[in-house]
Amino acid sequence: MKRIDDFKSIIDHYEIIFFDAFGVIKNYKGLLPGIEKTFRYLKEQGKEYYVVTNDASRSPAQLAASYHEMGLDAITADRIISSGMLTKEYLDLKVDEGIVAYLGTKSSAHYIDSEGLHTLPVSSIDESNIDKVNALAFLDDEGFDWCNDLNKTVNLLRKRAIPAIVANTDHAYPLNINDIAIAIGGVASMIETIVGKKFIRFGKPDSQMFMFAYDLIREYRSINKKQIVMVGDTLQTDILGGNKFGLDTVLVLSGNTRSADAENRINATGILPTYICDSAVIGPIELDL
Amino acid sequence: MKRIDDFKSIIDHYEIIFFDAFGVIKNYKGLLPGIEKTFRYLKEQGKEYYVVTNDASRSPAQLAASYHEMGLDAITADRIISSGMLTKEYLDLKVDEGIVAYLGTKSSAHYIDSEGLHTLPVSSIDESNIDKVNALAFLDDEGFDWCNDLNKTVNLLRKRAIPAIVANTDHAYPLNINDIAIAIGGVASMIETIVGKKFIRFGKPDSQMFMFAYDLIREYRSINKKQIVMVGDTLQTDILGGNKFGLDTVLVLSGNTRSADAENRINATGILPTYICDSAVIGPIELDL
Amino acid sequence: MKRIDDFKSIIDHYEIIFFDAFGVIKNYKGLLPGIEKTFRYLKEQGKEYYVVTNDASRSPAQLAASYHEMGLDAITADRIISSGMLTKEYLDLKVDEGIVAYLGTKSSAHYIDSEGLHTLPVSSIDESNIDKVNALAFLDDEGFDWCNDLNKTVNLLRKRAIPAIVANTDHAYPLNINDIAIAIGGVASMIETIVGKKFIRFGKPDSQMFMFAYDLIREYRSINKKQIVMVGDTLQTDILGGNKFGLDTVLVLSGNTRSADAENRINATGILPTYICDSAVIGPIELDL
Amino acid sequence: MKRIDDFKSIIDHYEIIFFDAFGVIKNYKGLLPGIEKTFRYLKEQGKEYYVVTNDASRSPAQLAASYHEMGLDAITADRIISSGMLTKEYLDLKVDEGIVAYLGTKSSAHYIDSEGLHTLPVSSIDESNIDKVNALAFLDDEGFDWCNDLNKTVNLLRKRAIPAIVANTDHAYPLNINDIAIAIGGVASMIETIVGKKFIRFGKPDSQMFMFAYDLIREYRSINKKQIVMVGDTLQTDILGGNKFGLDTVLVLSGNTRSADAENRINATGILPTYICDSAVIGPIELDL
């Protein structure tokens, strides 16, 4: 574990950089100040990069659009690997027809809709269509009535033997500097305990997220895991997942893990990043490169 | 483990009977048909009885009134031991002053209100009173906005180092023959996981429920645990808790545990009732006693 | 939560003091230097005290003898409440006859032996006697072959539907200033997960430990929970258990919880002692009392 | 979910078959009678097959040799994907130098030994070499003294901030028709709870096992997940893992899941195989093919 002062020296050692989104590239206020320098340098140096994010609330195209609105054009839809993409792949491979009931916004459901399979909010499931429901997806913490629709979800899973897919493993997410919000992954865990069934979860630290990105790269170039580094602000997802997949990892202190706590948390959890760095923003001297 | 045909023979062997409420005395339709015969027989034989229930939604007086409305006068307030009573005792002993924030109905909060300590729904906590909040109580699954108030609860517990009391350990409860509902105990477990703190839980199978009843009895008579039997429909709460406290136990098949599953569930969980009996209703021959 | 400089002022506010043993009265080196002054003062002031300990390795008489050998005569057998006593009470109440298979030393088993019920180490269970085994007790981490006897225990519990009692809830205990050892409670949790059954656990933080002590006291005097304080070095057992039972609690920093970590751990766990005090040793000024 | 009478019709629908080993190809008595017919048919039809097994006790070469000894030549080392291989890959990628301490047999350690990294049993770790230990691997339940070496492992992980790798996620394995044995995965979970750190686990149901096989295939041919089927006897590992990776799955009833329980367990767990089939042995009519 090495303390690195400038993120630039990390970029210089790898061919491909995987970034977590929240707490690394952006936070609740918008883009991390100066992060565009990092992406400019990546382009100049001909390095590849991907955003690997536990986010199923929107499609990669919509996620990319939100970066462009904030002024970061470097992140295009094909650079984004989201847990929503894994959910879509699972449904395409494993559920041939019928209805996917979901908890989330219409926008989150639109992305996983397909020809053979159409989505319906849990609130619209009733006697007339319950027998056609062939999967349930937990997509987003917004867009539904918690009390009514969570109770309805419990009973749907007791009546129908269908797979339940959790498209975001996070239990909570930061809302602003003081507050957090319960994420759909936390809600799904409560339902899972109550119905006593085993849900299918997509998202870091699970390897499947990293594998999806790795596979995308290999379609156009040969690559070795030694040439990739994962950058994240959360030990339990970004760093644990990156390590397990065999990647080098960088813990940045611009999000969930505060500088004062980093060492304690690393020792307490036994999750060891390869490097620790203040942020993914490259320093002032590199600016004129 | 013995199969008993008539509940009457169980009554005959003990001095004091503890009953679970839901699935034993009543269900979602009302009183269990014939259960009044059991209480008539108990009175005739001079046996004592208590209802030991994971219910903090109402006071013992209100719970008793609901039995009277259904036509069962035998269950008076002094015969009811609820997890709400333990919550009230905890607050009286451990929280001297200030506000108890709560999730639940006004009725559930009214019971735990006291001179020094007043209750306020989580929805009414704001900047002006948050510093006076000295405890949080999870009382009932109704009476609040799940999305807003659960998120507010998470952040309250992150800002204030206060005890969180869960007045009902159940994760779900039956709503009708087909459906269940998420109980406040299930909601509390989700919040506990998210904030990473340790909550204080009252309710079966915890021994404190049984101890509370046992203490009440000893105030007016001497008693030995061998003279008490616990009757319940749920292995994980009624039977496990009764066993651990050292009581003999009866699993009745009129509620959560169906006749066809009883043996399998007993073997799978290793929770062994002393007796199994169809229900706590005494048979037709005993009627004319 | 108040910082208290001298433990004497705590004694002065209560009628009865419950002490945890390890980390409070003694440690791996022997008695805590000066602790005899505390017990001298308790006697002078006519205060009652009990040692409430998660220890099933020896009988209360043997535990008391070990204090006497170290030079502390104040702790007699009738002052000790151990999780082994609860195990013995459970077996007396709930298992009428046959064999109690056990993991532990002969000495730990001797204490729970009784007229109707005799104990046999798991290693001695075979085809000839397995059908008479009516309970299994996890007593101590010593006295058996871990690999052979733990595997034998797993299969015993798969073949016989019997209660499994864990006489010590601790997962580990300190061996010296650097090392800890796996406790029988940790071993029991592994077996419980593998066989998928529900074990019965005795020991702090469970209320039954406190209730046992409380009951003993009430046999000879009337008492109110407000008059008792629990002193311990471990948040998850001593303080959580004492709080839940309704007692005031003192966290001492002479054992598991180091001074530097105390505040962090209290905030992280949400387990709040009434007081924090360096140790249960009373200060130099009180010496000449 | 379809009931399939003859495994042959499953083979006919896929290009590549993944087999679990224990309970599918072999059991504690040796090869499953008739299983060689299945592999003969696979060869005749030009189908590919892989054995995907949670086994880190031996190298693929040694595992293959054991099949040859039993008379099944079709399973060669290059057809075996074991959790031990993932452990080896992890160590090669993530631990550059020093010692890997291990729990297991010499044979299990030999396989993960490499030029830069040498292995040492936990029993040989002492003051002189503890600072060079850069990883810990849980390889096999045999080859060490459980009591001494597990306690030593706990303290090693408290002293050194190193990754701990669990090379087999199973908690138990069948020993014969009546008995099971505790697997190294069960032991590792106990240690993980005691030290409070996060271990890295390789083995089904984790996707990385399937990905490793999938990657091997893609080195010599193009493939689509729709063309692969996973065959296993255990819902929680083979079927859950196969499903999540996006494969069709077959539950066979020749191992962990008995015919009488299959439907109940599928409903209880919500883990849904694509097909259920008595065994992977193809029926008598196909014999003369």
pLDDT tens figures, B83-124: 999 999 999 999 989 999 999 999 999 999 988 899 999 999
CA separation for the pair B9, B248 (Å, rounded): 14
Whether the CB of B160 is below 8 Å from some CB of chain A: the reply is no
Residue D115: pLDDT band (50, 70, 90) is confident
The residue whose two tokens read 């992140």 is A75
* pLDDT tier for residue D246 given thresholds of 50, 70 and 90: very high
Segment 270-289 of chain B within 8 Å of chain C by CB: 270-272
First to last CA, chain D: 28
Displacement of CA C127 from its chain's centroid (Å): 35
Inter-chain touch B190–A187, beta carbons under 8 Å = yes
Instruction: Over range A236-256, report the average pLDDT.
Output: 97
Report d(CA B266, CA B263) in Å as an integer: 5
Distance CA A215, CA A11 (A): 21
Q: List the single residue in A154, A155, A181 with the smallest CB-CB distance to B151.
A: A181
A154 touches chain B (CB under 8 A): yes
Please report all neighbours of D, defined by 3+ CB atom pairs within 8 A: A, C
Cα of D219 vs its chain's centroid, Å:
22
State how far residue A253 is from chain B, nearest Cα, in angstroms.
Answer: 20
Q: Chain D residues with CB inside 8 Å of C184's CB?
A: none
pLDDT digits (tens, 9 = 90+) for D31-90: 999 999 999 999 999 999 999 999 999 999 999 999 999 999 999 999 999 999 999 999
CB D139, CB D108: distance < 8 Å: yes
Q: B58 pLDDT exceeds 80?
A: yes
Residue D283, pLDDT score: 78
CA dist., res. D78 & res. B233, Å (int): 55
pLDDT at A279 over 60: yes
Assess whether pLDDT exceeds 60 at residue B61: yes
- Tens of pLDDT, residue by residue over B15-35, are 999 999 999 999 999 999 999
| Pairing assessment for the beta strands A164-166 and A98-103 based on DSSP bridges | unpaired
| Cis, bond preceding C33 (omega within 30 deg of 0) | no
- Comparing CA positions, the residue from C28, C27, C1 lying closest to residue C254 is C27
* pLDDT bucket at A55, cuts 50 / 70 / 90: very high
The two three-digit tokens of residue C151, written as one number = 């595997």
| pLDDT tens track, chain C, 289 positions | 789 999 999 999 999 999 999 999 999 999 999 999 999 999 999 999 999 999 999 999 999 999 999 999 999 999 999 999 999 999 999 998 999 999 999 999 999 998 889 999 999 999 999 999 999 999 999 999 999 999 999 999 999 999 999 999 999 999 998 999 999 999 999 999 999 999 999 999 999 999 999 999 988 999 999 999 999 999 999 999 999 999 999 999 999 999 999 999 999 999 999 999 999 999 764 443 3
The string of DSSP codes covering C37-48 is HHHHHHHHTT-E
Cα D31 → chain centroid? 17
* Rg of chain C on CA atoms, in Å: 20
Chain A residues whose CB is inside 8 A of the B178 CB are 155, 159
> With contact defined as beta carbons under 8 Å apart, do B123 and B153 qualify?
no
The percent of residues in chain D predicted with pLDDT above 70, rounded, is: 98
What's the mean pLDDT when you consider all of chain A? Answer: 94
B166 pLDDT higher than 70: yes
Question: Which pLDDT score is estimated for C286?
Answer: 43
C190 CB within 8 Å of a chain D CB: yes
Using the predicted structure, report yes or no on whether residue A288 has a pLDDT greater than 50: no
Residues D202-220: pLDDT tens digits? 999 999 999 999 999 998 9
CA distances from C191 to C104, C124, D147 (A): 15, 19, 15
Burial (Cβ within 10 Å: 0-12, 13-18, ≥19) of residue C43: exposed
pLDDT of residue C1: 79
Tell me the three-class secondary structure of chain B, residue by residue: CEEECCHHHHHHHCCEEEECCECCCEECCEECCCHHHHHHHHHHCCCEEEEEECCCCCCHHHHHHHHHHHCCCCCCHHHEEEHHHHHHHHHHHHCCCEEEEEECCHHHHHHHCCCCEEEEEHHHCCCCCHHHEEEEEECCCCCCCHHHHHHHHHHHHHHCCCCEEECCCCCEEECCCCCEEECHHHHHHHHHHHHCCCCEECCCCCHHHHHHHHHHHHCCCCCCHHHEEEEECCHHHHHHHHHHHCCEEEEECCCCCCHHHHHHHHHHHCCCCCEEECCCCCCHHHHHC
Bridge partner residues of B165 (DSSP): B137, B200
CB contacts of A164 in chain D (<8 Å) are 270
pLDDT of residue C284: 61
Q: Which residue is it, tokens 């645990």? A: B225
Q: A244 and D198: CB-CB below 8 Å?
A: no
From B126, B112, B123, B125, select the one nearest B57 (Cα to Cα): B112
pLDDT digits (tens, 9 = 90+) for D129-148: 999 999 999 999 999 999 99
pLDDT of residue A289: 38
In angstroms, rounded to a whole number, what is the distance separating the alpha carbons of residues A51 and A76?
Answer: 10
pLDDT of residue D219: 87
Q: Which helix (H) or strand (E) holds C88?
A: helix C83-94
Supply D166's token pair: 């669990």
pLDDT at residue B284, as a whole number: 61
d(C-alpha D21, C-alpha D27), whole Å: 8
Interface contact flag, B272 C199, Cβ < 8 Å: no
Closest of D17, D19, D23, D18 to residue D172, by C-alpha: D23
In the structure, what pLDDT confidence band is assigned to residue B286 with cuts at 50, 70 and 90? very low
Single pTM value for the model: 0.95
pLDDT computed for residue A284 by the predictor: 60
SS3 category, D240: helix
Cβ-based contacts of D194 with chain C (< 8 Å) = 171-172, 180, 182, 186
CA B184 to chain centre: 12
Tell me the pLDDT tens digit for each residue of A194-212.
999 999 999 999 999 999 9
- Residue C180's DSSP bridge partners are C174
**Rg of chain D over CA atoms, in angstroms?**
20
